């Protein structure tokens, strides 16, 4: 296992294949990865709880917009 595979895990898409579904799945996986990093920083004391919440909320809004545009 390479360092890249460890840091940026990828799960294959198993749903109904459409370009929009595939793109949203990629966006969802990116969201999940970024939230994981933010939570780790907050847990480690490198980021305040409020800052972590604000960053995750901003990511959620971006994901929500992408869902509306794609689906």
Whether the CB-CB separation of 3 and 20 falls below 8 Å is answered with no
CA distances from 62 to 3, 42, 53, 57 (A): 27, 21, 14, 9
Domain coordinates in residue numbering, the chain: 18-70
pTM beyond 0.85: the answer is no
Question: Could you tell me the end-to-end alpha-carbon distance of the chain, in angstroms, rounded to an integer?
Answer: 34
> Residue 31 above 70 pLDDT?
yes
> Residue 62 above 60 pLDDT?
yes
> Residue 3 above 90 pLDDT?
no
Whether the CB-CB separation of 35 and 56 falls below 8 Å is answered with yes
Looking at residues 3-25, what average pLDDT do you find?
76
């Amino acid at each position: 296992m390479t360092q890249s595979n460890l840091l940026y895990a990828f799960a294959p898409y198993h749903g109904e294949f459409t370009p929009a579904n595939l793109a949203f799945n990629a966006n969802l996986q990116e969201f999940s990865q970024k939230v994981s990093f933010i939570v780790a920083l907050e847990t480690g004391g490198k980021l305040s709880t409020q800052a972590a919440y604000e960053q995750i909320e901003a990511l959620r809004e971006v994901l929500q917009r992408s869902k509306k545009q794609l689906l």
